[in-house]
A and B are shown apart, each in its own frame.
Chain A
Amino acid sequence: MARYVLRRLLTAIPTLFLIVTLSFFLLRVAPGGPFSQERGLSAEVKANLERVYQLDAPLWRQYLNYLADLLHGNFGPSYNLPDFTVADLFRVGLPVSMQLGASALLLALIIGSILGILAALRQNRGVDYGVVALATAGSTIPTFVIAPLYQLVFALTLAWVPVAGWGGGALVNKIGPVLTLALPQIAIVARLMRGAMIEALRANHIRTARALGLTSFSVVVKHALRGAVLPIISYAGPAAAALLTGSVVVETVFAIPGVGRYFVDAALNRDYTLVMGTVVVIAVFVIVFNLLVDLAYALVDPRVRYE
């Protein structure tokens, strides 16, 4: 098992290298540069700026420089937020985004699973139809509708919570963003769980468990649920990678100082180093969570073996 993990981590190195290389050159193919949107920039000033950031060097040299910096853990300075390095931005913003994302994911896994199981056990009856309707609504109503609606009702009308802001991480400030992030995930998890559970309950070994007179709890939880969580695990991996690295819409609407906004802002401003930093961070999250998914699979299903 340890050898397997080591091998997977080793194969992550060429993967990351490929991602970095591709994004580096694709980014440079896009027209414009980090300073092309600043007004009234004289040719000398621009040339100076480019020299300072080594943007005047040949592209292959810039690429090798970036790789060398990256190997030393240096993500470089941000071009548009000149007082910060990319590493600074992540050191401050990533914990915020991760907190919100992890809470939302946990909430989605718990509530979504419970709803899905209830729906499966009461298939084609009231509860089931309710859950399916909720799941459809949850995954079709966009976040940019839910978030302002939440602000309108709970912040502006009822005044229970602040409209926006991080408030130093106070709980009341987190409720809105977490719920908004979680709602579509609850819907997806509930739908997945319902389908997986219906499938699991049809298995022949469930018939065996019933014929043995085992309690309904044991039949459902011990025998059906364990098999049904496999699809949920496969979904949770990539979902975690996406949620923990922040959401543009939610962080913008609620004015959250996370990292979710950086990707879009940086891409629009051609903030090369910040885009590259975001790409690397997301890639690492995806790689790590995919590995965790595979390990969890082996934990749940004894037929899965890694060596």
Chain B
Amino acid sequence: MEATLSPSRSSSDRSPPDSTPLFEVSDLNVGFDTPDGAVLAVRGIHLALHAGETLAVVGESGSGKSQTMMAAMGLLAKNGRATGSVRYRGREILGLKAAALNEVRGAKIGMIFQEPMTSLDPLYTIGNQIAEPLTRHLRLSGRAARQRAVELLTLVGIPDPARRLDAYPHELSGGQRQRVMIAMALAAEPDVLIADEPTTALDVTVQAQIIDLLRTLQRRFGMGIVFITHDLGLARHFADRVAVMRHGLVVEEGPASEVLTAPRAEYTRMLLAAEPTGTKAPPPPDAPIVLEAQRLNVTFRIGGGLFAGPPLVIHAVNNVSVTLREGQTIGIVGESGSGKSTLGRALIRLIEAQGDIRLFGEPVNAIDAQSLRALRRQVQIVFQDPFGSLSPRMTVGEIITEGLRVHAPELDRRARERRAVEALEDVSLDPALRNRYPHEFSGGQRQRIAIARAVILKPRVLVLDEPTSALDRSVQKDIVDLLRRLQGAHRLSYLFISHDLSVVRALSDWIMVMRAGQLVEAGPTDEVFRAPAAAYTRELIAAAFGLDEAHAPAAARA
């Protein structure tokens, strides 16, 4: 890939911003007609992008950052209305008729989206799809477009591009699909690229590669990039300027170095402070062991049958041992498919595993169902998805007391109510809300409910499976604080499963790094982060904390 790129420009010859911005949003309002009346998503904002510059638009969900760009590209939903002005090189493009707009979008302004899995048409080969903007905007013939498509795939780092042209999207990985999306968006050589959370759905190491690619392409083509993200870390490493949005307004805008180091707006300060901080001290070495597993193995069989031949056996967890002490938090990190969630579930016997598991000293494979149930009460799990893991047909009170009916049948209704009130107070939710239904709560509140459902049983071990991944940063911080407080108050032990290294670093005192079902590295948190032993761990850390550093290992390998 490197060979095909022209020598990169140094950052010093980036042209200073001239008077007419390349792409400018001014006084933009975006509203949606809903059955409950009109909703304003964007309220009179101004943004400007100059050639060769990267502008990060940062905000939490619902801030209007995506809708601003959707409006600019004429991609609003049918009930959306945009007023104000969006100019490309001084020319108004908001409200253009489709035919006129289609001469600008795709040709002058390219856009890539968050969902690489669904943003390509599943029914056509990627060669066909990359050729479309080429024949449409550059008027290339079929043969020339195909030739150019190979070059573009080479440019975005797809191996064996000539053969890959005939692949369908479902035959590519998420990272590869995002590369193809980038190739399509850049096919007609636009001067503006709008990237809407282009790396959010990807694993961290892939994320770093995509950011790297965007940066290289930007230098090569001198594009301006509007980079929409919720991730301040990414904005800091990638953007020249940052605009922070909240409730449809730009609350602060300026050079990235200033906004993200010396923010003027209260909200920006809050966002920055919301990055999880702090560390956790390990438990005393003589703390009792609560959960122990020796050489745990989990295998899945796919297919197979009388005529289908032998099944495909997948080793999801391969000889992994865990020792969890009272008051300890073990962070289990890894990318999708690493087996970290499977390990967490196998440890509490939600799925079958081979190997010796002891809960509070008792071998769980050997005891009868009744004793196992008693042990289960002391081991609870909190899942990632706060929307899918709470039954929509039960009130919050019913949801959190359901476990008590099984594990403490001797309690009467009044006693259960009392426990529910305690549990909700424990997670800082108003107990008066317990007769409401889950859909009336925000994502963060729902995750609190899920935690209350676990702690009401007074467990000693909590398995937390990506409990903060679906949440905005500022809400994440609250959940992290809550987990810390609960651990202190109830002497809980946590198995904290996450792909988010910054949260893991703040919460755990021991880290296990997994990849493809194997344990890559394990050790005290500060040691693993300070001096990672495995190359893969170094790569993960570099990808998560410093995109610049991500070059080093990649270059060293090449």
CA distance in complex: A214, B74 (Å): 13
Cβ proximity bits B62-85 to A, threshold 8 Å, 1 near / 0 not: 000000000001110010000000
Check A212/B118 contact, CB under 8 A, given A227-B123, A303-B170.
no
Identify which of residues 119-150 in chain B touch chain A, using a CB-to-CB cut-off of 8 Å.
119-125, 132-133, 136-137
Separation in Å of the A267 CB from the closest CB of chain B?
A: 40
CA distance in complex: A203, B318 (Å): 39
A82: Cβ under 8 A from any B Cβ: no
**CB <8 Å contact, B75 and A226:** no
**CB <8 Å contact, A212 and B113:** no
- Name the segment of A41-49, A162-170, A215-223, A279-287 touching the other chain: A215-223
Closest to A301 in B: B123
Check A301/B104 contact, CB under 8 A, given A210-B75, A211-B73.
no
**CB <8 Å contact, A302 and B122:** yes
B354: Cβ under 8 A from any A Cβ: no
CA distance in complex: A216, B105 (Å): 13
CA distance in complex: A204, B133 (Å): 17
CA distance in complex: A210, B110 (Å): 11
**CB <8 Å contact, B136 and A204:** no
A207: Cβ under 8 A from any B Cβ: yes
Instruction: Name, among B98, B99, B132, B137, the residue most crowded by chain A CB atoms within 10 Å (CB to CB).
Output: B132
Give chain B residues whose Cβ lies under 8 Å from the Cβ of A211.
73, 75, 105-106, 110-111, 113, 185
CA distance in complex: A222, B128 (Å): 11
Separation in Å of the A10 CB from the closest CB of chain B?
A: 13
Cβ proximity bits B175-204 to A, threshold 8 Å, 1 near / 0 not: 000000100110110000000000000000
CA distance in complex: A89, B187 (Å): 63
Give chain A residues whose Cβ lies under 8 Å from the Cβ of B187.
212
Identify which of residues 191-206 in chain A touch chain B, using a CB-to-CB cut-off of 8 Å.
203-205
Give chain B residues whose Cβ lies under 8 Å from the Cβ of A226.
123
**CB <8 Å contact, B181 and A208:** yes
Closest to B187 in A: A212
CA distance in complex: A226, B123 (Å): 8
CA distance in complex: A207, B170 (Å): 18
**CB <8 Å contact, A302 and B123:** yes
CA distance in complex: A301, B118 (Å): 15
Check A208/B184 contact, CB under 8 A, given A123-B78, A303-B168.
yes
Give chain B residues whose Cβ lies under 8 Å from the Cβ of A64.
none
Residue from A123, A213, A218, A227 within 8 A of B107 (CB atoms): A213
Check A214/B170 contact, CB under 8 A, given A205-B118, A302-B123.
no
Instruction: Name, among B78, B123, B187, the residue most crowded by chain A CB atoms within 10 Å (CB to CB).
Output: B123
B101: Cβ under 8 A from any A Cβ: yes
B549: Cβ under 8 A from any A Cβ: no
Check A214/B120 contact, CB under 8 A, given A207-B75, A208-B181, A303-B170.
no
B103: Cβ under 8 A from any A Cβ: yes
B115: Cβ under 8 A from any A Cβ: yes
CA distance in complex: A300, B110 (Å): 29
**CB <8 Å contact, B121 and A223:** yes
Give chain A residues whose Cβ lies under 8 Å from the Cβ of B170.
302-303
**CB <8 Å contact, A213 and B184:** no
Instruction: Name, among A123, A203, A300, the residue most crowded by chain B CB atoms within 10 Å (CB to CB).
Output: A203
Residue from A205, A210, A213, A300 within 8 A of B121 (CB atoms): A205
Closest to A223 in B: B121
Closest to A212 in B: B106
**CB <8 Å contact, B119 and A210:** no
A209: Cβ under 8 A from any B Cβ: yes
Give chain B residues whose Cβ lies under 8 Å from the Cβ of A227.
121-123
Give chain B residues whose Cβ lies under 8 Å from the Cβ of A222.
124
Separation in Å of the A218 CB from the closest CB of chain B?
A: 7
Count contacts on A: residues with CB < 8 A to the other chain: 23
**CB <8 Å contact, A204 and B119:** yes
B102: Cβ under 8 A from any A Cβ: yes
CA distance in complex: A158, B225 (Å): 69
Instruction: Name, among B99, B121, B187, the residue most crowded by chain A CB atoms within 10 Å (CB to CB).
Output: B121
Count contacts on B: residues with CB < 8 A to the other chain: 36
Give chain A residues whose Cβ lies under 8 Å from the Cβ of B75.
207, 210-211
CA distance in complex: A209, B120 (Å): 9
**CB <8 Å contact, B118 and A204:** yes
**CB <8 Å contact, B123 and A214:** no
**CB <8 Å contact, A213 and B113:** no
Give chain B residues whose Cβ lies under 8 Å from the Cβ of A302.
122-123, 125, 168, 170
Check A208/B137 contact, CB under 8 A, given A213-B104, A214-B102.
no
CA distance in complex: A210, B78 (Å): 14
CA distance in complex: A226, B111 (Å): 24
Residue from A123, A203, A210, A213 within 8 A of B118 (CB atoms): A203
Closest to B121 in A: A205
Closest to B115 in A: A204
CA distance in complex: A207, B118 (Å): 10
CA distance in complex: A203, B115 (Å): 11
Instruction: Name, among B99, B101, B111, B170, the residue most crowded by chain A CB atoms within 10 Å (CB to CB).
Output: B111
Closest to A206 in B: B121
Separation in Å of the A120 CB from the closest CB of chain B?
A: 12
Closest to A205 in B: B121
Separation in Å of the A148 CB from the closest CB of chain B?
A: 43
Check A212/B181 contact, CB under 8 A, given A203-B118, A205-B119, A205-B120.
no
Identify which of residues 200-243 in chain B touch chain A, using a CB-to-CB cut-off of 8 Å.
none
**CB <8 Å contact, A216 and B98:** yes
**CB <8 Å contact, B168 and A204:** no
**CB <8 Å contact, A303 and B122:** yes
Closest to A209 in B: B121
Closest to A123 in B: B78
CA distance in complex: A227, B119 (Å): 14
**CB <8 Å contact, A212 and B168:** no
Separation in Å of the B371 CB from the closest CB of chain A?
A: 47
Give chain A residues whose Cβ lies under 8 Å from the Cβ of B136.
212-215, 218
Instruction: Name, among A213, A227, A301, A302, the residue most crowded by chain B CB atoms within 10 Å (CB to CB).
Output: A213
Give chain B residues whose Cβ lies under 8 Å from the Cβ of A300.
123
Identify which of residues 238-285 in chain B touch chain A, using a CB-to-CB cut-off of 8 Å.
none
CA distance in complex: A2, B132 (Å): 33
Separation in Å of the A216 CB from the closest CB of chain B?
A: 6
Closest to A202 in B: B77
Give chain A residues whose Cβ lies under 8 Å from the Cβ of B104.
213
CA distance in complex: A178, B530 (Å): 80
Separation in Å of the A230 CB from the closest CB of chain B?
A: 10
CA distance in complex: A295, B119 (Å): 26
Give chain A residues whose Cβ lies under 8 Å from the Cβ of B74.
210
Separation in Å of the A211 CB from the closest CB of chain B?
A: 4
Give chain B residues whose Cβ lies under 8 Å from the Cβ of A213.
101-107, 133, 136-137, 188
Separation in Å of the A64 CB from the closest CB of chain B?
A: 32
Cβ proximity bits A140-162 to B, threshold 8 Å, 1 near / 0 not: 00000000000000000000000
Give chain A residues whose Cβ lies under 8 Å from the Cβ of B120.
205, 208
Identify which of residues 77-95 in chain B touch chain A, using a CB-to-CB cut-off of 8 Å.
78
Give chain A residues whose Cβ lies under 8 Å from the Cβ of B115.
204
- Beyond A213-B103, A213-B136, 9 additional pairs, beta carbon < 8 A: A204-B115, A205-B121, A210-B105, A211-B73, A213-B104, A213-B188, A216-B99, A302-B122, A302-B168
The 10 A-B residue pairs with the shortest CB-CB distance in the complex, in nearest-first order? A213-B106, A212-B106, A204-B118, A213-B102, A211-B111, A205-B121, A213-B105, A302-B168, A212-B133, A208-B119
Cross-chain pairs A/B with CB under 8 angstroms, 28 sampled: A204-B118, A205-B118, A205-B122, A208-B119, A208-B121, A208-B181, A208-B184, A209-B121, A209-B132, A211-B105, A211-B110, A211-B185, A212-B105, A212-B106, A212-B110, A212-B133, A212-B187, A213-B107, A213-B136, A214-B136, A215-B136, A222-B124, A227-B121, A302-B122, A302-B168, A303-B122, A303-B168, A303-B170
